[in-house]
Amino acid sequence: MNYLLGAFKPACNVLITFNDGKNRKQVPFKKENGQTVTVPLFHSQENIAGKITIEPMQGKKIDHNGIKVELLGQIEMYFDRGNFYDFTSLVRELDVPGEIYERKTYPFEFSTVEMPYETYNGVNVRLRYVLKVTINRGYAGSIVEYQDFVMEVGIEDCLHIEFEYNKSKYHLKDVIIGKIYFLLVRIKIKNMDLEIRRRESTGSGTNTHVETETLAKFELMDGAPVRGESIPIRLFLSPYELTPTHHNINNKFSVKYFLNLVLVDEEDRRYFKQQEITMYRLQESS
């Protein structure tokens, strides 16, 4: 019996560490089994580098057909659990076929990785980034180890803007007056639009259905802004078929309005700044 139990013990321990793991911000991450752990936080275009340590169990050696590490960006639909769509896939070969008798450490690096989407864990889908180490052993069965990390995609250090307007409540025939201030510009913006969006929500809980409609779109700027520049806004609402805002009517539906600022850079990447506004109807005098 002891012999049989020993046959199922792992042949080695695999440890994945990041070079700046001690100083990098750690964030909570919910695993598939519901357990919450802390993992490192990265941003797009960062270098992801570290070390992979493989240590055979005492008295054992590892015969392998090669060792590799992959950086994967994956989408998993929960109704199709276990099947992943890879939108990012990078590979580094760590070792050629051979044998490992004692602890061995392999450095790895993925330089300026383009990771366009943020990590997301939702009700029906999840988007994750993971390092996957594979020790290929052919018929003996490959040894695979995973290390999740979280990705945030933002432009906090590239673009700071303030969207200032005269009020947050407007009647249906009102005029929105405001200004956009560029406090920091480190990306090449080619144009900027202002949109009026209506979001209609019906149902409740897991049966909530949301539809968003763009009612109006205006080009505010064509060309690159500079730090300190400001752009005036004067938007008349009367030409559009707007309704008052509705907040959770009889627990059945809601209607909300948003001003959505859309900036597009020279690589056609889009950046957004959104602000909710309240619409109301003026009572007509008799």
Six-digit token string for 167: 């009020």
Q: Is the pLDDT of residue 152 over 80?
A: no
* Type and span of the H or E element at 99: strand 98-100
Six-digit token string for 65: 């057909």
Structural domain includes residue 250: yes
Q: Is the pLDDT of residue 156 over 80?
A: no
The pLDDT of residue 205: 64
Percent of the chain with pLDDT over 70: 92
The pLDDT of residue 167: 86
What total of structural domains would you count in the chain? 2
- 105 backbone φψ class: left, alpha, beta (φ>0; ψ -120 to 50): beta
Structural domain includes residue 2: no
Asked if 16 and 146 sit in the same domain, the reply is yes
Asked if 138 and 40 sit in the same domain, the reply is yes
Q: Is the pLDDT of residue 140 over 80?
A: no
How far is the C-alpha of 69 from the C-alpha of 245, rounded, in Å? 52
Structural domain includes residue 206: yes
The pLDDT of residue 5: 40
DSSP 33-45: TS-EEEEEEEETT
For residues 65-78, give the mean pLDDT.
91
Residue 133 sits at φ, ψ, to 5 deg, of -100, 130
Structural domain includes residue 1: no
Asked if 39 and 139 sit in the same domain, the reply is yes
DSSP 284: P
The pLDDT of residue 108: 94
Asked if 140 and 192 sit in the same domain, the reply is no
Instruction: Out of 151, 181, 215, pick the residue that ends a domain.
Output: 151
How far is the C-alpha of 146 from the C-alpha of 168, rounded, in Å? 48
How far is the C-alpha of 16 from the C-alpha of 209, rounded, in Å? 41
| R_g (Cα) of the chain, nearest Å | 26
Instruction: Out of 151, 177, 212, pick the residue that ends a domain.
Output: 151
The C-alpha angle 98, 104, 105, rounded to 5 degrees, equals 120
The pLDDT of residue 244: 95
How far is the C-alpha of 146 from the C-alpha of 110, rounded, in Å? 16
User: Do the Cβ atoms of 52 and 112 come closer than 8 Å?
Assistant: no
User: Do the Cβ atoms of 194 and 259 come closer than 8 Å?
Assistant: yes
The pLDDT of residue 145: 94
For residues 66-86, give the mean pLDDT.
86
pLDDT per residue as tens digits for the range 18-28: 998 888 888 88
User: Do the Cβ atoms of 256 and 209 come closer than 8 Å?
Assistant: no
Q: Is the pLDDT of residue 1 over 50?
A: no
Asked if 21 and 146 sit in the same domain, the reply is yes
Instruction: Out of 85, 117, 151, pick the residue that ends a domain.
Output: 151
Asked if 16 and 99 sit in the same domain, the reply is yes
Structural domain includes residue 131: yes
Asked if 142 and 260 sit in the same domain, the reply is no
Structural domain includes residue 164: no
The reply to whether the predicted model has a pTM over 0.85 is no
Asked if 185 and 97 sit in the same domain, the reply is no
CATH number, domain containing residue 116: 2.60.40.640
* Cβ burial, residue 38 (10 Å; 0-12/13-18/19+): exposed
Asked if 33 and 112 sit in the same domain, the reply is yes
User: Do the Cβ atoms of 51 and 14 come closer than 8 Å?
Assistant: no
Six-digit token string for 121: 């864990």
Structural domain includes residue 236: yes
**Strands, sheet with 175-185, edge to edge from the N-terminal-most edge strand:** 159-165, 175-185, 230-236
Range of the domain at 199: 169-280
Asked if 102 and 17 sit in the same domain, the reply is yes
DSSP 17-79: EETTTTTS-EEEEE-TTS-EEEEEEEETT--EEEEEEEEEPTT--EEES-EEEEEEEEEEEGG
What is the chain's mean pLDDT, rounded? 85
Select from 191, 179, 182, 193 the least CA-distant residue to 160. Answer: 182
Asked if 207 and 249 sit in the same domain, the reply is yes
pLDDT band of 191, cuts 50, 70, 90: confident
pLDDT per residue as tens digits for the range 115-131: 778 888 887 888 999 99
Structural domain includes residue 156: no
User: Do the Cβ atoms of 221 and 161 come closer than 8 Å?
Assistant: no
Asked if 30 and 128 sit in the same domain, the reply is yes
The pLDDT of residue 6: 44
Six-digit token string for 41: 């936080």
pLDDT per residue as tens digits for the range 220-271: 888 778 888 888 999 999 999 999 999 988 888 999 999 988 888 887 777 7
